[in-house]
Structure 1
Amino acid sequence: NEFSLIEAAEHAHEMDETLWPQMITSIGALDVLHAGRLSPNLRIDTDQIRLLVDFMRRNYKAITFDLSGNLERYSIELMQLSKRVIMVCTPEIPSLHLARQKLLFLRDFDLHSRVGVVLNRSQKKAVFSHEQVEELLGIQVIKTFPNDYNGVNHAMRDGGCISPSSAMGKVFDQFAQELLDRETAEQRNKKRKFLERFVVTSQDLIKA
């Protein structure tokens, strides 16, 4: 698709159900809006981001943003509009050091509480264990993915997906289900809290 986030942002004020399908690439039930060409001078206005997100929310039940990790202004805006922020790092000193610096930065935007860590390319004899990474970063490691360098590169070469039967594929499936279960549980809790505001027990009536 020749269109990307750049064109979508430029047309954010006029985005509708006719224009949007031209911007995305559909793969089964998944709609993808790719990042576009390399453009170091690209600046996306926060108003454009908000308009795009508002449009997406009206048309999708779940939205995921794959950010660069450079913490651009529009990336911060997207994280502030998101329920959950997932930070991906590897169990190596340079990656963990950078992750800790980013967490300190995100704390200034009150985003720290939304962040969970995904530990990627983990090996049995990793320098840092799951627990040590949590202690070092001060936040929960919500999932650990195995190192499957060959499987990932073969999938990229073939323009396909990781095999669902592979170790990596199984973890992807588990993680997706865990995210869905978490969302369902959060929705149930919100509904329960809302209903509790209107529930009056017999004991309350006696006290009144």
Structure 2
Amino acid sequence: MIRAIIISPSPTTIRQLEASLAGTGEPIELAKEYTRYPTSEELTRVINGLAANVIFLDLDNPTASSRILEAIAHLPSHPALVAIHNSTTGIVEAMRHGIRDYLIAPFDQPMVNSCVKLLQGILDPKNGYQPTESGTKIITFMPAKPGAGASTVALNTCAALAVRQRTLLVDADPFNGQLAFMLKQDNSFSVRHALERAAELDEDVWDKMVRSFGQLDVLSGEDYLGAHAAAAAPLRRVLDFARAYYDVVACDLPGSLDETAQIVLQQSAKIVLVATPDVASLRLAYCKLHLLDGLGCAKKVTLVLNRTNARAEFRKVDVERSLGLPVACDVPAHNSAVHRALVEGKPVREWAPRFQNFAAQLAGRPAEAAKPRYRRRFLQFFSIGRSASAPVALLGDGRK
């Protein structure tokens, strides 16, 4: 499928091209539109993040277009280029830059149809084209049942991911979004505002909506959106915009698998299913796995077992056996630590090493080896002046 970026300083030209591309009746996704010429660094990041395979470039500004063409030439996988211009002089400019495909505004529909057919042939894997995957990883967190702690797991995992990667956490729960409350953040700008302005998002608008939490960016929800539940198309536009600027985009989804959730799940590289060790949660986790299998997403699922303790109805091995999945991370119950974290608006610090290792798993990095805990022997408690960095075991007769 064609996944295109349009670059033109003329909004009229962009609207005309959009209409002509829609008139072809072919599956074309407009991933990004620029009414300015982006910097080389920004365009490179956007192309890699969105895995764009076609660029429609207006040659109205020869200097800016040359800079963009030079940036594209240095990419490992070059997207197909189509020059657009409002006069025939653009044809000469396109040929000078080695671009063979061009369209002249106002666009002739048969010409646009031919151009799209040609692009589909170029992008067909049968003809040797190697599609590139997005450089941004989408990770989805969802509960087996409401109240399983998926938002808490998402926040602590993303805080650990953000230490090494540019990470965004999106509260996509339209009815019970908790992230703003958990982080003590002002949600005067939320995911609802991003959805309403999905078609006109830019860096300035985005900066007003996103809140920074340490190294983590958060697009929080509202306490109750009601009728403003996210529609599939705007949410996809918001995620596409975010993929151009982050290494990891994480979505905190509700438990329901509606159309919007299904689109996010199918785009996700990893799906973190959070369950608790009780009958109701495990039964619903089994149902969720069955539904995810029907969507073709079963192989993406990573299981987190939350609120484990010695008195739980099921042990970790019982959960793995009943669900047929290994538990990638088990989180011990720690009510006082969770309460303190909520009051302070911070992640649970007692869980930090656990979530650092889990974040490493999701990112495909080797987990950090746990430092061996030094335990003093009985007689060492009576030693005086021992250096903590060089523990010495004293025997009863004073010999070392």
Same fold (TM over 0.5): yes
- Identity across matched positions, percent: 32
Equivalent in the alignment of 1:114: 300
Report 1:148-159 matches (<5 A): 148-159=334-345
Q: Deviations over 1:16-68 (max 9, x none)?
A: 11110111111122110011230232332221122111111100011111112
Is the counterpart of residue 63 in structure 1 residue 249 in structure 2?
yes
Report the alpha carbon displacement of residue 182 of structure 1 after superposing the two structures with TM: 4.6
Q: Deviations over 1:104-134 (max 9, x none)?
A: 1222211111111100001134322222212
Equivalent in the alignment of 2:121: none
| Aligned-partner residue type, residue 360 of structure 2 | Q
Of 178, 181, 184, which aligns to 2:364?
Answer: 181
Structure (1 or 2) with the greater helix fraction? 1
Gap runs ≥5 in structure 2: 1-185, 367-400
d(CA) in 1 for partners of 2:195 and 2:234?
A: 6
TM-score (norm: length of structure 2): 0.43
RCO higher in structure (CA 8 A, sep ≥6): 2
Structure index of larger Rg: 2
The question of whether the paired residues in 2 share the 8 Å contact of 1:49 and 1:77 is answered with no
Equivalent in the alignment of 1:132: 318
Is the counterpart of residue 81 in structure 1 residue 267 in structure 2?
yes
Q: Which moved more, 1:153-162 or 1:3-12?
A: 153-162
Q: Deviations over 1:127-168 (max 9, x none)?
A: 2222221221122221111111110011101222322xx2x2
Gap runs ≥5 in structure 1: 184-208
Of 218, 233, 237, which aligns to 1:32?
Answer: 218
The question of whether the paired residues in 2 share the 8 Å contact of 1:91 and 1:129 is answered with yes
d(CA) in 1 for partners of 2:277 and 2:305?
A: 7
Is the counterpart of residue 13 in structure 1 residue 199 in structure 2?
yes
Count of aligned pairs between the two proteins: 180
Equivalent in the alignment of 1:96: 282
TM-score (norm: length of structure 1): 0.80
Report the alpha carbon displacement of residue 177 of structure 1 after superposing the two structures with TM: 2.4
Q: CA RMSD in A?
A: 1.7
| Aligned-partner residue type, residue 181 of structure 1 | G
Q: Which runs of 4+ in 1 moved over 3 A?
A: none
Q: Which moved more, 1:87-96 or 1:151-160?
A: 151-160
d(CA) in 2 for partners of 1:90 and 1:43?
A: 27
Report the alpha carbon displacement of residue 73 of structure 1 after superposing the two structures with TM: 2.2
